[in-house]
Amino acid sequence: MARRPRLSKAELELMDLIWERGESSVRELQETIPEKRRPAYTTVQTLVGRLEEKGAVRRSRRVGNAYLYEPAITRRSTYRRLIDELVEVFGGSATPIVSHLIESGKLTLEDLRVLEREQSKRKDGAE
């Protein structure tokens, strides 16, 4: 029911599939997961059930004897929440996070420049 429920790691991964595929059955979701780390059918079923309880997905319709599920929250708001929580750990400040990203090589100077340009442009448009 929560607008931005707290999702666990496994739930998040499942949501990614659901956002990607849209309306899906438990079977489809399970088979979409690469075989190497594919959990049992009922494991996926349990996770989808929990996602439903949390208001992250809803049943859209029925096909055969199976339910189809669709997202009830957006990827955006979910990721947003994740990041907000990380920022909180960092005492509310975002720059240390970016510094770490740079140091770990995950974010290059070039990435920064692109982001900066994009942002300048957006700002221009807005004014």
Partner DNA sequence: GCGTTTCTACTACACTTGTCATAGATTGAA
Partner DNA sequence: TTCAATCTATGACAAGTGTAGTAGAAACGC
Q: In this chain, which stretch among 24-32, 33-41, 45-53, 114-122 interacts with its own copies, using CB under 8 A?
A: 114-122
> Tokens 């994009």 — which residue?
118
Q: How far is the CB of 6 from its own copies (least distance, A)?
A: 11
Partner that binds at residue 32, options DNA, its own copies, none, CB closer than 5 to 8 Å by kind: none
Partner that binds at residue 33, options its own copies, DNA, none, CB closer than 5 to 8 Å by kind: none
Residue among 8 and 120 whose Cβ is closer to DNA: 8
Q: DSSP secondary structure string, 59-121? A: EEEEETTEEEEEESS-HHHHHHHHHHHHHHHTTT-SHHHHHHHHHTTSS-HHHHHHHHHHHHH
Contact between 39 and 33 under an 8 Å Cβ cutoff? The reply is yes
Query: Which residue of 10, 33, 68, 107 would you call a contact of its own copies, by CB under 8 A?
Result: 107
Residues making contact with its own copies (CB under 8 A): 9, 12, 79-80, 82-84, 86-87, 89-90, 94-104, 106-107, 109, 111-116, 119-120, 123
